[in-house]
Amino acid sequence: MDERAFFSEKPETRQARYQCPKCRRTAEYGIRWVRRSKKDRLPAGADEDDRAKFAKVRDYLLRVDDEVVCKACGRKFEIPSQHSLMFLDQIGGLPNDEELEREISAASGEPGPAPEAKPALPARFTRKPGGWK
Ligand SMILES: [Zn+2]
């Protein structure tokens, strides 16, 4: 079964800043992506292999645009290619992020095992003032 059967696709435009290699000017560009969201359920007709694959896949964005036209000089240049695919957990603003952060801060804000409380001074040290002599 083709991996695409596991996802529903939705086009998406994201803003990104790129520097034109010709005129060196930086501008914001609306870049087209396709968001592949994992379906809630395995598609009909899936076998065991598909089931295993389906368990592993996660949502991602695939870049559609390979080049942009420079807003300053009008020349085409290629988008740096290292980010043509992004998993959604690499991008901020996911619905789960907030939850995760709350968990992290709860975990780190926890005082942990309380430092041993100093036991109150036993009475024998306080009863006789000047007992050090
Ligand atoms: Zn340019």
- Between CA 23 and CA 73 the distance in angstroms is 7
- Counting as low any pLDDT under 70, the low residues of the chain are 82, 90-105, 109-133
Q: How many CA atoms lie within 13 A of 128 on its CB side?
A: 5
Cα 79 to averaged position of ligand 1 atoms, centre (Å) = 13
For the chain, domain boundaries: 3-106
Neighbours of 53 (CB within 10 A): 16
Distance CA 87, CA 99 (A): 18
pTM: 0.60
pLDDT given at position 81: 73
For residue 70, the CA-to-ligand 1 centroid distance in Å is 5
pLDDT at 85: 87
Tell me the CA–centroid distance for residue 26 and ligand 1, in Å: 8
Tokens found for residue 4: 């695409």
Cα(12) to centroid(ligand 1), Å: 25
Q: What's the gap in Å between 63 CA and the centre of ligand 1?
A: 21
